[in-house]
Amino acid sequence: MALRLETDIQYLKGVGPKLGALFSRNGIKTVDDLLQNYPRAYEDQRAARNVASLKPGDVVSLKAKVVSVSSYNMGKSTRRIYDIMIRDASGQIRCKFFRTPYKGYFERFQPGKEVRVVGTVTDYRGRIEFHHPDLKDIEPEEAIQDALIPIYVENEGLSSTKISKLILSVFEQVKDWPIEKLPLELVKNLILLGRNEAYYKIHQPEADAGNLYNEFKSEAHKRLIFEEFFWLELYLASKKSGLKSEKGFAFKNAELKNKALIASLPFRLTNAQMRAYGEIQKDLESGKPMNRLVQGDVGSGKTLVSFLSCLKAHESNFQTCLMAPTEILAEQHYRNAEKLLQPVGLNTALLTGKTKPKERKEIAEKLANGDIHFLIGTHALIEEWVQFQNLGLVIIDEQHRFGVAQRGILKNKGSSPHFLIMTATPIPRTLAMTVNGDLDVSIIDEMPAGRTPIQTRVINETKRPAALKFLIEQVEKGRQAYVVYPLVEESEKIDLKNATEEFEKLSAEFPKVRFGLLHGKMKSVEKDAVMTEFREHKIDVLVSTTVIEVGVDVANATIMMIEHAERFGLSQLHQLRGRVGRGQHKSFCVLIMGYAVSEETRTRIEFMEKTNDGFKVAEFDLQIRGPGEFMGAKQSGLPGFKMANLVRDFDLLKLARDAAFDILARDPKLSKKEHLVLREELLKSYGPNALAGVG
């Protein structure tokens, strides 16, 4: 049969039902999926080296013999490190694996077996090693090939060589290759390879372009990376176009209450706060629904900016609601609103899961008749009985913790209300452009005067007693502290300290210190009681899980100690660190790493010592972990990029964004003949709602 790109993979010559099922389990269901299974690296055998010549950072192809294969546990954990020692005539080197590529992988390599190793040389504590190299069988008389050899991710029964041969056979078997999907004018203006030529060259690279291919800078890479970005940016552009086409309400007033609030403050707003509010003010007066994200580090004053927006809505006779992800954070916002907004005439109310039926009935009545001007709450705000008289502004805190459906329900409680989204998780510019491409973004990148930088130290488990001694000394001086653990209770699968057990141990070891325990499995009333006691200094040290990541504000707390810091992302560590440094006293953050962490992990955690700037932390975290892990698998909203990298390929991201927004500006409905394929691809990739903005 004639093959097409949409043909089931099993019908490709050399595959069949059994191998086809294996491909399918690994996400490769069609011939096109196989072509989009891009090489992870390229081997240039002409650049083959010997062990004695290796230097850190070298990407090499090396022929050697296996000396030994061993494995051992990482410290006290159940995770295992696999160690394959190899040697050639000039010396020997270790190949370390911190995870198993697939079942039976290491059983292939017995002492004396000849292998070819392709990988990057790593400096690990002054000794060179390979970490997760490609290891493959070779014949004793292997000839050096005058070509770049693509290296694919291997799976059970699917070697890199097998995958390469099948892909090359596709180019011989496929008939009727599809037409170019990008507008020909765009391909020509940006000097991009044609799609099919890029497919071919990515799998059959030019022999003398090894560096370009291994650095993802070849013309084939440029074309395919651009296209991945382009489809996403076109979708975001259509969403933004749809939002801008809606009719909204223009808030126009003298802002007398805003001026009164600012005049009552014991401090001046920062220039960054004023700039952010100016951008919001312009949106609110435009007559189009605002959809703006305000990014700012912990303590930068985002909440105050949102309160100014709320006052502007009130003076235009509109109500505002604010949805927070946790009861702790919602209550903190409510306390601040009572203190700052009630004196200038705003009636506020709090609605959470624990609000009693009698209070709910009262809130319902006051919302409906307009007596509540500002309703603050959790997910309870989206309940059906919550109906506003005239909702004009929706504020969402930490939006990545809410789903699209929840935000849609809030939108329907008003008539095209303005949306203001806040996040204390600084998102790097590269990621913000992608995840929040349909939003306008304001950045508060200036901290209020008088905040003392937090001193951060990374230590090993062996120095934990000294860190505890320092913490107790600070408590004896009248300060308070947090001790954070990654687990609530002991796990049989993971050998980590847990909050419940350590709370009991610490309480017994330091009987004069008042310890409290807080975690997400506690009932709301229990959590509230613990937090109230901590705020009132009836608790000296709060032993907790990450439930305190957002919303806890105790000025007297000056020490944050985090156990098993290697288990957290850097941005999460930064959020936790932000719970201290909120008062007049010098504050400290101690990050304790478990036993036998990798050098890469150590480098990642030690970056926290270098800066208190959340944006720098987030950028570094994104580079190390990638966007999926950085945002959380389900929350990121990111497509599964097969090749594009938001950090490495930022220039191509900007190029794709400009191109997508330009096309939509010139052809808002994508109705021109040369753009019909764009409509088709949007529907295919993002579903029927993808064209909501383009008609």
Residue 479: what pLDDT? 96
pLDDT at 631 over 60: no
In the block, residue with structure tokens 């480098």 = 603
CA pair distance 441, 423, nearest whole angstrom: 11
Residues 6+ apart with CB under 8 A from 350: 330, 331, 334, 376, 377
In the block, residue with structure tokens 């507008």 = 183
Residue 491: what pLDDT? 54
Largest CA distance in the chain: 87
pLDDT at 335 over 50: yes
Closest to 534 measured CA to CA, from 592, 579, 568: 579
SS3 assignment, position 495: coil
Q: What band does 638 get if pLDDT is binned at 50, 70 and 90?
A: low
Q: What is the mean pLDDT of residues 379-389?
A: 92
Verdict on whether the full-model pTM lies above 0.85: no
Amino acid code (one letter) for 129:
E
Residue 456: what pLDDT? 96
pLDDT at 6 over 60: yes
CA distances from 203 to 138, 158, 163, 672 (A): 21, 16, 10, 34
**CA 657, chain centre distance (Å):** 20
Count the neighbouring beta carbons within 10 Å of the beta carbon of residue 607.
Answer: 17
CA pair distance 203, 434, nearest whole angstrom: 28
Residue 376: what pLDDT? 96
Pull the structure tokens for residue 113: 């077996």
Closest to 589 measured CA to CA, from 511, 689, 437, 474: 474
CATH code linked to domain 43-151: 2.40.50.140
Residue 546: what pLDDT? 82
CA distances from 297 to 166, 301, 336, 492, 499 (A): 50, 8, 18, 37, 27
Higher pLDDT: 41 or 361? It is 361
CATH code linked to domain 455-611: 3.40.50.300
In the block, residue with structure tokens 């939108």 = 411
User: What's the topology of domain 256-444?
Assistant: Rossmann fold (3.40.50)
Residue 640: what pLDDT? 63
Answer whether 43-151 and 455-611 agree in fold.
no
pLDDT at 663 over 50: yes
Pull the structure tokens for residue 673: 């003949």
**Strand ranges, E, within 125-258:** 127-131, 134-137, 148-151
Q: What is the mean pLDDT of residues 200-215?
A: 86
Report yes or no: 373 and 309 within 8 Å, Cβ to Cβ.
no
Residue 121: what pLDDT? 87
Instruction: Return the DSSP state at 437.
Output: T
Tell me the domain boundaries of the chain.
43-151, 179-245+649-695, 256-444, 455-611
Higher pLDDT: 383 or 140? It is 383
Report the DSSP beta bridge partners of residue 173. Answer: none
CA distances from 604 to 566, 607, 624, 632 (A): 9, 6, 8, 18
CA pair distance 37, 28, nearest whole angstrom: 8
pLDDT at 635 over 50: no
Lowest mean pLDDT among 4-8, 155-159, 296-300, 528-532: 155-159
Count the neighbouring beta carbons within 10 Å of the beta carbon of residue 167.
Answer: 23
Q: How confident is the model over 30-82, as pLDDT tens digits?
A: 998 999 999 988 877 666 678 888 888 777 878 899 999 998 876 665 678 88
Residue 633: what pLDDT? 38
* Average pLDDT of every residue of the chain: 85
pLDDT at 29 over 80: yes
Report the DSSP beta bridge partners of residue 607. Answer: none
Alpha-helical (H) ranges within 370-484 are 404-411, 429-435, 464-476
b/e burial code for range 223-238 (CB count within 10 A of at least 16 → b): bbbbbbbbbbbbbbbb
Q: How confident is the model over 642-654, as pLDDT tens digits?
A: 888 877 888 898 8
Strands 418-423 and 127-131, sheet pairing:
unpaired
Percent of the chain scoring above 70 in pLDDT: 87
pLDDT at 294 over 50: yes
Q: What's the angle, vertex CA 653, arms to CA 652 and CA 657, rounded to 5?
A: 115
Lowest mean pLDDT among 443-452, 490-499, 643-652: 490-499
Residue 636: what pLDDT? 42
CA dihedral over 201, 205, 208, 211, signed as positive or negative = positive
Pull the structure tokens for residue 353: 């899961």
Q: What band does 218 get if pLDDT is binned at 50, 70 and 90?
A: very high
Q: What band does 441 get if pLDDT is binned at 50, 70 and 90?
A: confident
Higher pLDDT: 117 or 491? It is 117
**Torsion-angle region of 398 (φ positive above 0: left; ψ -120 to 50: alpha; else: beta):** left
| Three-state helix/strand/coil letters over 580-621 | CCCCCCCCEEEEEECCCCCHHHHHHHHHHHCCCCHHHHHHHH
Amino acid code (one letter) for 521:
K
pLDDT at 400 over 80: no
pLDDT at 582 over 60: yes
Residues 6+ apart with CB under 8 A from 186: 192, 659, 663
Q: What band does 242 get if pLDDT is binned at 50, 70 and 90?
A: low
Q: What band does 244 get if pLDDT is binned at 50, 70 and 90?
A: low
pLDDT at 566 over 70: yes
Q: Phi first, then psi: what are they for 383, rounded to 5°? A: -65, 150
Q: What is the mean pLDDT of residues 676-685?
A: 83
Q: What is the mean pLDDT of residues 548-565?
A: 84
Q: What is the mean pLDDT of residues 364-374?
A: 95
Q: What band does 309 get if pLDDT is binned at 50, 70 and 90?
A: very high
SS3 assignment, position 35: helix
Residue 496: what pLDDT? 65
SS3 assignment, position 304: helix
Amino acid code (one letter) for 332:
Q
Q: Report how far apart the first and last C-alpha atoms of the chain are (Å, whole number).
A: 40
CA pair distance 498, 493, nearest whole angstrom: 13
Lowest mean pLDDT among 84-98, 226-240, 310-324: 226-240
CA distances from 583 to 145, 251, 475, 479, 480 (A): 66, 36, 15, 11, 11
